[in-house]
Chain A
Amino acid sequence: MAAAAGSSTLAPVAPPPLPTAADKLPLDKLKVAQGLKLEVYAAGVPNARTLRLGDKGTVFVSSRVQDKVHALVTKDGKREMKVVASGLHRPNGIALHKGTLYIAELSQISKIDNIEDNLDNPPKPTVILADLPKDEPHGWKYLTVGPDEKLYFQVGAPCNICLPSDRHGRIYRVGIDGKGLEVYAYGIRQIVGMDWHPTLKQLYFSENARDWLSEDIPEDKLNRVTQPGKDHFGYPYCHQGNFTDPELGWGRSCEEFTKPVALVGPHSAALGIKFYTGDGLGNEYRNVLFMARHGSWNRSVKIGGDVVTIRLNDDGTFKSMEPFITGFIQNNNYVGRPVDILPMPDGALLVSDDFNGAVYRVSRK
């Protein structure tokens, strides 16, 4: 480990395969906004990624570099973890809708009906959409259900920077039965967070910009779809809404493409986003957008490694961005990495950490 030799720190940071023990979690390092406290909701959840809530209170947790989806059940104040699906390939995307668990793996989407009634003996997932591209780079998916009760997911660019095929670099939407696949938006590189604006009902998503161009450009983005089926977010021609790619951007202009809502830091790896419509954290958080920034690897001085609050104007444009949970980066090293955010019915906020294999809970002191 000491071999990090000073000469270069520029390699993807791998989450340790074995989760951190509860008493070794970096709680003393994590600082949360005033008036709130952060505690462990669950430890020992390998590579904890996307968080979803079932109608009966089960918290589902996906993984990216492991093969399982887990369920966290609370019984007599204690958390119990169950494996609900295994043998999956990069099952990063999960969503719940009317009792059914949907799982987006690298190249297919499947479902398990009535999942919360079958936690002890879940049937194998049934595939509803197969034969998506099989590329590993940016092959893992984010999955969400729209107000139209359709599934939304992306097929990322199969590379850092390249001219993607006409199946890649897009957001898709498909019926809940896996039928009627259509393109919802174009020109994205990779997305690991989507949510629906509570009143505008538009799809907001985080997008990770290309690497190896410079340490400070381009920045990751917060985007929104205002013209379904038409919006093009610029990749691979235009980055961060105002910077044409040095190789692929010749002859193109950023004016051709949909502008970002906000820029959220170079290489910061903006992942999970969630609008907060509850009031358990206090009035100042109503309708705030929480964003988990996983943190950079393609940068000498790491940035991100936090959860931020983003405030929008009534028309959905950007107003401000402030830190909410900080401390995941200590002395330019990760002690944890936040991935996704889940508001709970009691107003508390759950945050997953795929580096430690843990889920934290933030609530009022």
Chain B
Amino acid sequence: MKPARRRLAVLILLCGWAPLAWAQSITERLAPCYSCHGDQGQSFNPDTPSLGAQPSPYLLIQLYMFREKLRNVELMNAAVKGFTDDDLRAFADTLAKLPPPPAATGPADPARLDRGRTLVQQHRCNICHLPDLAGRDNVPRIAGQREDFLVKTMREYKANIRPGYDASMGDVMQPVTDADILDLAYFAARQP
């Protein structure tokens, strides 16, 4: 579609819903997101990532990708359909200010933690995602993220199912085996 025509379409859409969309505060509009991503972005839902304390630029990129279908996950493409650029910015900024998810608790296998820690150094996860794995800018927080989601998404980078905004993770995952993925996820999910 031509931008002009699309702008018109977006405008019509907005006018249609404006009373509803604009009357709602961002907090109210986050409620449906929390139904999947957990209250305050702390997910208890299998394969669904926590969002709290993700860097705002990373969130903006991913929300934009869902809207433009550059990242194809139907649930999420639907969740942000019709969002304006300003909506995307507002959601990204608000989610970034939520608390980080708590690290996975319970007894941990020290041997697996050691393997995970070594792999993090070996593949320089700590350089891009920062030593505490809290992420910055376009690089996401992986500390305290759900282990099942970390495994799923790393496998998808490796298999080229999730191409990413850029190719960084595709390159990183090449020499990483599936056993390594399990240890990396185990380790990252247990970081505060």
Give me the interface of A with B, judged by CB distance under 8 Å.
1, 3-5, 7-8, 10-14, 16-18, 65-67, 81-83, 86, 89, 120, 134-139, 158-160, 162, 212
**B56 in the interface (beta carbon within 8 A):** yes
Give me the interface of B with A, judged by CB distance under 8 Å.
1-3, 55-57, 60-61, 64-65, 68-70, 85, 88-89, 124, 127-128, 130-131, 134-139, 160, 163-168, 170-171, 174
Asked if A14 and B134 make an inter-chain contact with CB atoms under 8 angstroms apart, the answer reads: no
* 24 A–B contacts from the bound complex (CB under 8 Å): A1-B137, A3-B130, A3-B135, A3-B136, A5-B136, A8-B130, A8-B131, A11-B137, A11-B168, A12-B128, A14-B137, A17-B65, A17-B165, A67-B69, A81-B3, A82-B3, A83-B2, A83-B3, A135-B160, A136-B160, A136-B167, A137-B174, A158-B174, A162-B174
| Chain A residue, CB-CB nearest to B67 | A17
Contact residues of A: prevailing secondary structure: loop
Interface centre among A18, A81, A86 (most CB of B within 10 A): A18
Residues of the A chain whose Cβ atoms lie less than 8 Å from the Cβ of B136: 1, 3-5, 11
| Chain A residue, CB-CB nearest to B135 | A3
Residues of the A chain whose Cβ atoms lie less than 8 Å from the Cβ of B130: 3, 5, 7-8
Known interface pairs A3-B134, A16-B60, A139-B167; A67-B55 also in contact (CB < 8 Å): no
Extra A-B contacts (11), CB below 8 Å, given A18-B64, A136-B164: A1-B136, A1-B137, A5-B130, A8-B127, A11-B127, A14-B166, A18-B60, A67-B68, A135-B160, A136-B171, A139-B167
Residues of the A chain whose Cβ atoms lie less than 8 Å from the Cβ of B3: 81-83
Residues of the A chain whose Cβ atoms lie less than 8 Å from the Cβ of B168: 11-12
Asked if B2 and A17 make an inter-chain contact with CB atoms under 8 angstroms apart, the answer reads: no
CA distance A65 to B89 in the complex (A): 19
Asked if B61 and A3 make an inter-chain contact with CB atoms under 8 angstroms apart, the answer reads: no
Asked if A120 and B60 make an inter-chain contact with CB atoms under 8 angstroms apart, the answer reads: no
Known interface pairs A65-B166, A136-B170; A14-B61 also in contact (CB < 8 Å): yes
Asked if A14 and B167 make an inter-chain contact with CB atoms under 8 angstroms apart, the answer reads: no
Known interface pairs A12-B166, A136-B160; A7-B171 also in contact (CB < 8 Å): no
Asked if A82 and B57 make an inter-chain contact with CB atoms under 8 angstroms apart, the answer reads: no
CA distance A65 to B166 in the complex (A): 6
Known interface pairs A138-B167, A159-B171; A14-B138 also in contact (CB < 8 Å): yes
Interface centre among A82, A83, A86, A136 (most CB of B within 10 A): A136
| Chain B residue, CB-CB nearest to A137 | B171
Q: Which 3 A-B pairs have the closest CB atoms?
A: A14-B138, A136-B170, A3-B136
CA distance A4 to B29 in the complex (A): 30
CA distance A137 to B69 in the complex (A): 20
Residues of the A chain whose Cβ atoms lie less than 8 Å from the Cβ of B160: 134-136
CA distance A304 to B61 in the complex (A): 25
